[in-house]
């Protein structure tokens, strides 16, 4: 696995921490979701759950690589990577979830009322852990594919990551909390659209202190670049929703994606 991690030890250290945390957040989330707790919990317990799960992905801030312990906090590779993931998770929840409701006909069955544009607030925090894992896996996949596919690796790695997440989450054990009315449509059209966000952000992830002798990107540049990624992703989603999607599906503007509405895919 070593050859799939960054050559910069500080960056590789962050990737290892995220990968080590993956089975932990996976187990916690599995117990909460499959154990029926998320069906009964309201806003406060769900928010606590989200904050707890997110906190583990922030571990690199407290345990940077030994080579960075004397480095200023804002100049550490760990700080830049964590800030990048937090902004990506929060931003993608805001710009992309409404598209999933309106175009991809996604539904949530959580009994919560604290939302931002119809999306439960606690999911903004839960997905920080998700995207930390996805970032590590996507970068590893790119490093493995790049010598074989060259430029195509920028597309194939994100597509594989987007498809993997969709298949993992849209399983028959979760249909009381999360589902798509048309799963094959999501796995095809939806995967391509979702992968666009990873295609846009992967160059930024790879550019952050990748090699020990390479340039060091400032934290301010990471923040600005992430803002550009989210803006372009939003523009792409708007274009897809208005021009492309109507040829393949029924677009329902301002669809209510939260709640067990009659006729949806959510199981009782």
Return the DSSP state at 115: E
Q: How many whole angstroms separate alpha carbon 204 and alpha carbon 202?
A: 5
Instruction: Please report the pLDDT score of residue 2 as a whole number.
Output: 58
Instruction: Please report the pLDDT score of residue 1 as a whole number.
Output: 61
Let me know how long the chain is. Answer: 268
Q: Could you tell me which of 204, 231, 203, 229 has the C-alpha nearest to residue 218?
A: 204
Instruction: Please report the pLDDT score of residue 260 as a whole number.
Output: 64
Q: How many whole angstroms separate alpha carbon 105 and alpha carbon 93?
A: 16
Q: Could you tell me which of 70, 19, 23, 28 has the C-alpha nearest to residue 46?
A: 28
Helix (H) or strand (E) holding 44, with range, is helix 43-57
Largest CA distance in the chain: 58
Burial zone of 26 (CB within 10 Å; 0-12 exposed, 13-18 middle, 19+ buried): middle
Q: Name the token pair of 170.
A: 């849209």
Report phi then psi at 119, rounded to 5. -100, 125
Q: Which residues pair with 180 in a beta bridge?
A: 106
Instruction: Please report the pLDDT score of residue 257 as a whole number.
Output: 86
Contact status, residue 208 vs residue 222, Cβ threshold 8 Å: yes
Instruction: Please report the pLDDT score of residue 132 as a whole number.
Output: 97
At 30-49, the pLDDT tens digits run: 899 888 888 889 999 999 99
Q: What are the DSSP calls for 62-89, one per residue?
A: HS--GGGTTS-GGG-HHHHHHHHHHHHH
Q: State the sign of the Cα–Cα–Cα–Cα dihedral 96, 98, 101, 104.
A: negative
Residue 116 — left, alpha, or beta (φ > 0 → left; ψ -120 to 50 → alpha)? beta
**Residue indicated by tokens 């690796």:** 153
Low-confidence ranges of the chain (pLDDT < 70): 1-2, 260
Instruction: Please report the pLDDT score of residue 247 as a whole number.
Output: 95
Q: How many whole angstroms separate alpha carbon 109 and alpha carbon 38?
A: 9
Ordered by start, the domain boundaries in the chain are 2-247
Q: How many whole angstroms separate alpha carbon 102 and alpha carbon 252?
A: 5
Q: Could you tell me which of 20, 14, 15 has the C-alpha nearest to residue 78?
A: 14
């Amino acid at each position: 696995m070593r050859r799939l991690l960054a050559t910069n030890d500080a960056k590789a250290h962050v990737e290892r921490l995220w990968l080590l945390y993956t089975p932990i957040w996976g187990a916690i989330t599995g117990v909460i979701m499959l154990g029926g707790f998320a069906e009964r919990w309201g806003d406060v317990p769900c928010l606590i759950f989200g904050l707890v799960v997110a906190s583990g992905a922030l571990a690199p801030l407290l345990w940077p690589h030994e080579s960075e312990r004397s480095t200023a906090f804002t100049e550490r590779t760990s700080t830049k990577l964590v800030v990048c993931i937090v902004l990506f998770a929060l931003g993608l929840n805001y710009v992309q979830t409404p598209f999933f409701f309106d175009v991809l006909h996604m539904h949530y069955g959580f009994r919560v009322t604290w939302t931002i544009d119809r999306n439960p607030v606690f999911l903004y925090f839960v997905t920080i852990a998700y995207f930390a894992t996805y970032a590590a896996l996507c970068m590893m996949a790119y490093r493995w594919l790049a010598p074989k596919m060259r430029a195509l690796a920028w597309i194939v790695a994100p597509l594989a990551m987007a498809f993997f997440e969709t298949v993992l989450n849209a399983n028959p054990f979760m249909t009381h909390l999360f589902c798509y009315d048309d799963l094959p449509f999501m796995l095809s059209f939806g995967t391509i659209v979702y992968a666009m966000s990873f295609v846009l952000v992967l160059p930024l992830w790879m550019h952050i202190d990748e090699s020990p002798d390479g340039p060091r990107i400032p934290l301010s540049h990471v923040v600005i670049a992430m803002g550009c990624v989210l803006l372009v992703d939003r523009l792409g989603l708007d274009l897809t929703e208005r021009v492309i999607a109507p040829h393949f599906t029924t677009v329902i503007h301002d669809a209510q994606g939260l709640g067990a509405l009659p006729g949806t895919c959510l199981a009782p």
